[in-house]
Amino acid sequence: MGLEQKKKEYILVTGACGFIGYHLCKYLLNKSFEVIGIDNLSDYYDCILKEERLSLLKKFNKFVFYKIDLKEESLVREIFNIYKPHYVVNLAAQAGVRYSIDNPHAYVDSNIVGFINILEACRNYPVKHLLYASSSSVYGGNKKVPFSTNDNVDHPISFYAATKKANELMAHTYSHLYNIPTSGLRFFTVYGPWGRPDMAYFSFTKNIIEGKPIKIFNQGKMERDFTYIDDIIISIYRLLTVIPKNNPEWSEKRDSINTSFAPYKIYNIGNNNSVQLLKFIKILEEKIGRRAEKIFLDMQPGDIIKTYADISELEKVIGFKPKTNIEDGLGRFVDWYISYYNHNH
């Protein structure tokens, strides 16, 4: 399974210096693909981490990098014009649920304006497949678990989630009007080495190691479907060549709503397992070898109580399911964290 190595098949990855983007680029480059990376190196979190991910990618001779913002439509078009990428993986986004409550405009610029510029570029320079990051947050206030791509997702509880749902709707329109094959990837709490400092597992690790208290929301009564980064990357890689097709016979009465009459598809990419926050913290304490000082707080606006992915569809089409358990994954993260911050500081 995988892409055929024709001459110069370019894969464009936006958000290339982000957590998932960096790992995906590295994986593709190790398989000798030609990768074009785009990132605006936003300062939403520590830029040093992004710069260092970038310097590791620049060691590969098949990697080209452009520091541009996706909201600059002419620059996006220029890159498509030069390289005419065969595959596009759009991972650039303003991330974070809580930040979206204070800074909604940042999400419109990045997640809506940036994405329409990618869609327009794919329309003008046809691609074999556009894959884009959606999010488990689109499930919003849904009570039924596990979350299935066949569930209605019309009840977002954060503006971030609303922009991700909007991406799916925008992609569907372009799939229908211009026959662009699109696949939306609903990621469930991704974690691992080189991860995002704004994520709880990262800040918990930092604070436990430094002997500072950690804030636990909703009194710890939260569950997350934590998905290890390597499982995410293998899933994206295998999905590149699973290209959605038109289905003129499609009917919403009979068929799954994660497909369409257009060449459009939605997948959950999760671990298919929900872990309680307090259990998660206990594993972190064991891996670090220190107890955490805990401050219990109320639920934060925009947060979902529980996420849990139904990944039967993903497994069916790529013959793979994420399987890294939380103990192994957190162990690898803690090892990376300690070596990275000891070396660098």
DSSP 199: S
CA gap 49, 248 in Å, rounded: 46
Contact 202, 167 (CB under 8 A): no
Which tokens belong to 230?
Answer: 């390597």
Backbone phi, then psi, for 316, in 5-degree steps? -65, -45
Which residues have a Cβ under 8 Å from the Cβ of 112 and sit 6 or more positions away?
Answer: 163, 166, 167, 170
Catalytic residue among 10, 107, 160, 237: 160
CA gap 6, 15 in Å, rounded: 25
CA gap 234, 255 in Å, rounded: 27
| Strands 294-296, 223-224: pairing kind | unpaired
How far is residue 135 CA from its own chain's centroid?
7
Q: Sign of dihedral through CA atoms 161, 164, 170, 172?
A: negative
The amino acid at 322: P
Is 160 catalytic? The answer is: yes
Residues carrying an active site annotation: 160
